[in-house]
A and B are shown apart, each in its own frame.
Chain A
Amino acid sequence: MTLSYPLSSLAAHPARLSPAYKSTVKRSPSKPLIPMRHTLTELTGPVYGHETVRENDHDLTVQHKGEPLGERIIVHGHVLDEDGRGVPNVLVELWQANACGRYIHVVDQHPAPLDPNFTGAGRAQSDAQGYYRFITIKPGAYPWGNHPNAWRPAHIHFSVFGHSFVSRLVTQMYFPGDPLFEFDPIFNSVPDEKARLRMVSSFDLENTKPDWALCYRFNIVLRGREATPMETK
């Protein structure tokens, strides 16, 4: 049997119980998870074609009658596996707050204005090399109730499908140099600093569009199909 997706990779993820992020306290399992071999069920995953992504789904600035307010940005990068190979034809979904830090979700009561020209949802499919690209506006920071004066650093939520159902990833992309990083328990739930910084996009001057939009690069690395086995000592 080949254990195609070594569990050692999972060390990069946050602990499910991360008490500084209070909502984890009642929503994380208290009993140990049960290990099992990956079967065909775990090793396969949904395959979706172009029918899932419509023409302007990747451009969040043209989904309404007018243009949204805020700083227009390009967010692009590659979906890769741990061996550095592009993951082709996978669905990448994103959602985010508007430039003022307000989500259109009805539960969001932050007293910042909604933008009638911005929904904040997008969808793209990676190409044959794993490359994806979105056009959106830079989201604002916003307050939340986790602790007194808690603010989330600006972020874009990403949902990605990979080679299999066990490589499924939901994460958040952050922006370089955000002063809120050190105060955010969700960002800091990732224990390893190097791993944490993999959630931070890099400013990409080369791919900005002069007189039009700044650009950020965000590579998303999923569990690898044949990641190098750990050396046995």
Chain B
Amino acid sequence: MQDKGLTPSQTVGPYFKYGLTPNGAYQWNDAFTNNLVTPDTSGDRIRVEGRVFDGDGAPVPDCMLEIWQADAQGRFSDPQDSRALKNSSFKGFGRCGTDPNGGYSFDTIKPGSVPDPDGKPQAPHLLLAIFARGMLLQLYTRIYFDGEGGNAADPVLALVPADRRATLIATRKAGDVYQLDIRLQGDDETVFFDI
């Protein structure tokens, strides 16, 4: 009989692709993709892309990234958010396996502002979970957007030492494309949150 208490986490391992992110390469369908946009989705379309690197600066080609985000009005597609729109087809969840160069991308919309537990506005952000071979437990970080006026007053960014904040803020490239690399370890290590 199993003891009570949390089931421990284990690594996703090197072979998750055919089950979790087959993307046409295997005889299995994707439950989730890296495209969150649906026909009825309102908001500014954006692409967020980047690469994932390990402590040696080598790309991580066998990584799985998942994002969770609010819609353009800052509402989550979850009944636990009492402001959620029923029947919205925007689910706010995306999944992407990295390519051989450690690259990832998500096509989505810029989320709206979400209140913090005191009701203060948070700047628009994505919550990112990172899984890979060699990672026994997922890491969580956030992706903010360069040029957002709310960043300066964001209560979570304020917890991060100023010299590390840039690791959380995607830079705007051409058009609607934002870019942010994830560094799992080292001097420029991405800020991860203990949540």
Contact = CB atoms under 8 A, between A and B. Distances in A.
Q: Do A and B bind each other?
A: yes
Interface of A: 1, 5, 7, 9-10, 12-16, 18, 21-48, 52, 54, 63, 82, 84, 91, 93-95, 97, 103-108, 119-123, 157, 159, 163-166, 168-172, 186-187, 189-190, 194-200, 202, 218-223
Contact of B7 (A16, A44, A220): A220
Given A30-B55, A44-B81, A46-B68, A157 B16 contact: yes
A21 B76 contact: no
A43 B66 CA distance: 16
Contacts of A22: 134
Contact of A30 (B116, B117, B189): B189
A32 to B, nearest CB: 8
B185 interface: yes
A57 B156 CA distance: 40
A36 B193 contact: yes
Given A14-B137, A103-B18, A198-B7, A26 B79 contact: no
Question: Which of B7, B18, B142, B184 has the most CB atoms of chain A within a 10 A radius of its CB?
Answer: B7
A123 B31 contact: yes
Nearest to B115: A40
Interface residues of B, number: 79
A107 to B, nearest CB: 6
A166 B9 CA distance: 12
18 contacts: A12-B5, A14-B10, A14-B137, A16-B137, A23-B134, A24-B136, A25-B134, A29-B189, A34-B159, A41-B68, A41-B122, A122-B19, A159-B20, A169-B9, A171-B7, A171-B10, A221-B2, A221-B5
B47 interface: no
A166 B76 contact: no
Given A45-B78, A165-B129, A29 B7 contact: no
A164 B6 contact: no
A54 B135 CA distance: 30
B93 A36 contact: no
A35 B86 CA distance: 32
Given A27-B132, A172-B10, A41 B137 contact: no
A202 B68 contact: no
B45 interface: no
Interface string B113-144: 01111100010010101011111111110100
A88 B26 CA distance: 30
Contact of A26 (B55, B129, B191): B55
A24 B134 contact: yes
Interface majority SS (helix, strand, loop, mixed), chain B: loop
Contacts, number: 257
A220 B195 CA distance: 20
Contacts of A43: 80
A1 B10 contact: no
A105 B12 contact: no
Interface of B: 1-20, 22, 25-29, 31, 54-56, 58, 60, 62, 66, 68-70, 76-81, 91-93, 114-118, 122, 125, 127, 129, 131-140, 142, 156, 159-160, 184-186, 189-195
A37 B194 CA distance: 9
Contacts of B28: 119, 121
A157 B12 contact: yes
A34 B193 contact: yes
A46 B8 contact: no
Contacts of A104: 18, 26
A108 to B, nearest CB: 6
Contacts of B194: 7, 32-36
B18 A198 contact: no
Nearest to A38: B195
A111 B2 CA distance: 35
Nearest to A9: B6
A41 B19 contact: no
Contact of B191 (A1, A34, A44, A186): A34
